[in-house]
């Protein structure tokens, strides 16, 4: 039986194919259309999923859509009526798309995907909860979803057992932890729905000066983690912006203009909202624990991408183990919707051994996207006249490890593309974390940005505890933990006085390129069974240097989605100062490539700005 899951029309549209309960394929639409966070109907992602499954649309048994448009529409209308006549402009702006597409999902599925069978709808938070529990490695667990907003719910908790999932309680719009965070994302001058992780990265530079103001004025945070926003300060319910003039007054000025200089004030605001968010996350987790009595916790929803908060739940919360859906945002809703139909609507059994099928969980390491055969890659390399050599059997990891140990920056394109926002060793740019130059070199010469965030490390699962204060799986880079104390380098008094990004250039540890100013790191642990080749590379690099850790950043430049095809990877390689590229078994060295039209096209470097 084939079920196609779809999420669309808000942010990060995606499709997912489930066959007899197994997740076969999943991808975000942006990777195919090359439009970042593409929210349109995921026609290309659907096409990929069907192709991967070797079926046509008529062989699908069900299509599952990740939320209930009518309920969402009702929420929209009720909110507008509540605020009328304010909000008329945003109402008029939103309506055409609703009336043309969003309310006609069945028609869209038939038109865009050619499917004429049964389309089922799950509620937004059910989809998130299902994406958190069903692919998890737990027979039973508490489930917590934290988000901006779906239909009405902004957050929910419950429990999963076997093939059952029960949500016990919901928090309703407009009271939302995700929207509170987004309000500060907007106010500090970043893009709502994608700049949140920048706010998180900025937080360690600031002081929690505004925590009291936030808790006294903006949000009533209760013991059980539920909250009420004081809507006097927010404009997202009816207006076109997140915050209003009263918010400006409270925090002493207008929002930072996007792309203008980041000051201490933004850093303090980031630190403050981050602390409040962590506190809310911890309270919600404790409450879910009290109410369900479960030992394990599953998380999803956009706020579950807050890996600093997740790290605190792991360390301080009452749960023994936590598992986080890698596509915790709305893309993962497609997967949750499809699995929900399989287990809940159709009542199919769920057994953990079957979910994991030899891997760590039901996500196959999140390597669920397209892959390309060696022949396809070589054919492409021949057409562009690239200079390459093929690594011998078992030689690829050794060869690339040597390049990396030589401080070369290497594009690494291997196997199936990742599902979710992070590159996990299939579409990654890699470097040596021990190098004090690596951080700025990768940012300026390859990603064309300056950054106040360090890169994230990949590390062998079996060696993670030697480098970080963490001794469990973190396969999806969704947990932050400190670098081990003996590896840290304390700051001198003079260095302490440096401001913002200058501080980042002070080496904080023996692996400076992946250590944040507060000694934290956003960790990906790699197991052999999830990605044998990437595991082999980390092992080879470890043998060579004693450090089985690599800098892992996504294979793209600023403002672009992560690369999907060999052609996109090659273009990115040629247009940046990346030193080498491993495209499947083929290794390309930059110095051996001839002059290329691509290399001379610097138009996309104009985007050079603070990221």
The minimum distance between CB 190 and Fe ion, in angstroms, equals 19
279-296 in b/e form (b: 16+ CB < 10 A) is bbbbbbbbbbbeebebeb
CB closer to Fe ion, 125 vs 535: 125
The minimum distance between CB 324 and Fe ion, in angstroms, equals 14
The minimum distance between CB 401 and Fe ion, in angstroms, equals 39
Token pair 């430049």 in the structure block, residue: 557
CB closer to Fe ion, 130 vs 580: 130
CB closer to Fe ion, 66 vs 455: 66
CB closer to Fe ion, 129 vs 438: 129
Phi, psi values for residue 557, rounded to 5°: -105, 170
Token pair 């699995």 in the structure block, residue: 339
The minimum distance between CB 148 and Fe ion, in angstroms, equals 6
Q: Residue 429 and residue 455: Cα distance in Å, rounded? A: 11
Short-list 121, 276, 268, 117, CA closest to 207:
268
Phi, psi values for residue 584, rounded to 5°: 60, -135
| Partners of 446 in beta bridges | none
Beta pairing, strands 2-7 & 14-19: antiparallel
The minimum distance between CB 147 and Fe ion, in angstroms, equals 4
- How many Å from the N-terminal Cα to the C-terminal Cα in the chain? 44
CB closer to Fe ion, 102 vs 508: 102
The minimum distance between CB 128 and Fe ion, in angstroms, equals 6
CB closer to Fe ion, 154 vs 539: 154
The answer to whether 3 and 340 have CB atoms below 8 angstroms apart is no
Short-list 251, 183, 246, CA closest to 211:
251
CB closer to Fe ion, 45 vs 179: 179
Short-list 414, 397, 388, 412, CA closest to 588:
388
Q: 11, 37, 172, 535: which one is catalytic?
A: 11
CB closer to Fe ion, 147 vs 235: 147
Give the list of residues 6+ apart from residue 290 with CB closer than 8 angstroms, or none: none
- If you ran DSSP here, which 8-state letter would residue 7 be given? E
Query: Shortest Cβ contact with Fe ion: which residue?
Result: 147
* 516 in catalytic set: no
Beta pairing, strands 410-413 & 427-431: antiparallel
Q: Residue 36 and residue 28: Cα distance in Å, rounded? A: 10
For residue 332, how many other CB atoms are within 10 A of its CB?
A: 35
Phi, psi values for residue 172, rounded to 5°: -110, 150
Full strand arrangement of the beta sheet holding 580-583: 389-390, 586-589, 580-583, 410-413, 427-431, 549-554, 456-460, 520-526, 479-482
Residues that bind Fe ion (CB under 5 A): 147, 330
Short-list 105, 158, 164, CA closest to 300:
158
The minimum distance between CB 398 and Fe ion, in angstroms, equals 43
Short-list 204, 259, 309, 197, CA closest to 554:
197
Q: Residue 277 and residue 399: Cα distance in Å, rounded? A: 44
Q: Residue 91 and residue 82: Cα distance in Å, rounded? A: 12
The minimum distance between CB 6 and Fe ion, in angstroms, equals 14
CA distances from 570 to 148, 303, 558, 579, 596 (A): 37, 34, 16, 12, 11
CB closer to Fe ion, 101 vs 330: 330
The minimum distance between CB 329 and Fe ion, in angstroms, equals 6
Q: How far is CA 15 from the centre of its chain?
A: 16
Write out the catalytic residue numbers.
11
């Amino acid at each position: 039986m084939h079920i196609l899951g779809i999420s669309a029309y808000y942010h990060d549209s995606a499709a997912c194919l489930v066959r007899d309960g197994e997740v076969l394929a999943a991808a975000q639409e942006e990777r195919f259309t090359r439009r970042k966070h593409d929210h349109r109907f995921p026609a290309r992602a659907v096409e990929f999923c069907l192709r991967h499954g070797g079926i046509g649309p008529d062989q699908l048994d069900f299509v599952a859509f990740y939320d209930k448009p009518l309920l969402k529409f009702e929420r929209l209308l009720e909110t507008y009526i509540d605020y009328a006549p304010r909000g008329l402009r945003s109402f008029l702006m939103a309506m055409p798309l609703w009336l043309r597409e969003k309310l006609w999902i069945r028609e869209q599925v038939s038109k865009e995907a050619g499917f004429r069978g049964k389309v089922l709808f799950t509620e937004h938070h059910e989809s998130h909860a299902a994406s958190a529990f069903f692919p998890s490695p737990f027979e039973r667990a508490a489930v917590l979803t934290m988000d901006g907003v779906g239909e009405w719910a902004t957050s929910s908790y419950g429990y999963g057992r076997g093939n059952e999932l029960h949500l016990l309680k919901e928090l309703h719009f407009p009271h939302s932890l995700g929207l509170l965070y987004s309000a500060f994302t907007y106010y500090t001058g970043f893009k709502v729905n994608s700049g949140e992780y920048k706010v998180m990265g900025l937080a360690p530079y600031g002081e929690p000066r505004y925590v009291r103001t936030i808790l006294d004025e903006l949000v009533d945070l209760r013991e059980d983690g539920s909250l009420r926003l004081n809507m006097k300060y927010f404009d997202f319910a009816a207006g076109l912006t997140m915050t209003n003039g009263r918010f400006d007054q409270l925090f002493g000025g207008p929002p930072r203009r996007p792309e203008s200089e980041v000051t201490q004030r933004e850093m303090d605001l980031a630190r403050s909202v981050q602390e409040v968010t962590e506190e809310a996350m911890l309270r919600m987790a404790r409450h879910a624990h009290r109410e369900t009595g479960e030992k394990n916790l599953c998380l999803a929803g956009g706020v579950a991408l807050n890996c600093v908060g997740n790290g605190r739940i792991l360390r301080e919360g009452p749960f023994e183990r936590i598992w986080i859906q890698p596509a915790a945002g709305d893309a993962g809703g497609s997967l949750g919707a499809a699995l929900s139909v399989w287990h809940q609507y159709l009542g199919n059994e769920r057994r953990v051994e079957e979910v994991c099928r030899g891997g760590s969980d039901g996500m196959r390491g999140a390597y669920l996207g397209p892959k390309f055969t060696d022949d396809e890659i070589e054919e492409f390399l021949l057409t562009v006249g690239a200079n390459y050599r093929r690594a011998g059997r078992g030689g690829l990891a050794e060869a690339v490890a040597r390049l990396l140990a030589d401080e070369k920056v290497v594009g690494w394109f291997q196997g199936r593309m990742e599902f979710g926002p992070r590159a996990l060793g299939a579409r990654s740019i890699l470097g040596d974390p021990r190098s004090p130059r690596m951080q700025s070199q990768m940012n300026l010469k390859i990603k064309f940005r300056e950054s106040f965030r360090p890169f994230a490390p990949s590390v062998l699962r079996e060696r993670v505890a030697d480098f970080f204060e963490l001794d469990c799986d973190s396969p999806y880079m969704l947990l932050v933990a400190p670098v081990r104390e003996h590896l840290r380098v304390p700051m001198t008094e003079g260095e302490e006085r440096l401001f913002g990004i200058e501080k980042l250039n002070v080496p904080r540890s023996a692996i400076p390129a992946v250590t944040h100013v507060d000694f934290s790191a956003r960790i990906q642990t790699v197991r052999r069974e999830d990605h044998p080749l990437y595991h082999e590379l980390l092992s080879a690099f470890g043998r060579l240097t004693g450090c089985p850790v690599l800098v892992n950043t996504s294979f793209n430049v600023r403002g672009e989605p992560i690369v999907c095809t060999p052609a996109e990877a090659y273009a990115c390689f040629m247009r940046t100062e990346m030193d080498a590229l491993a495209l499947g078994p083929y290794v390309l060295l930059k110095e051996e490539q001839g002059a290329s039209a691509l290399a001379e096209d610097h138009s996309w470097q104009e985007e050079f700005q603070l990221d």
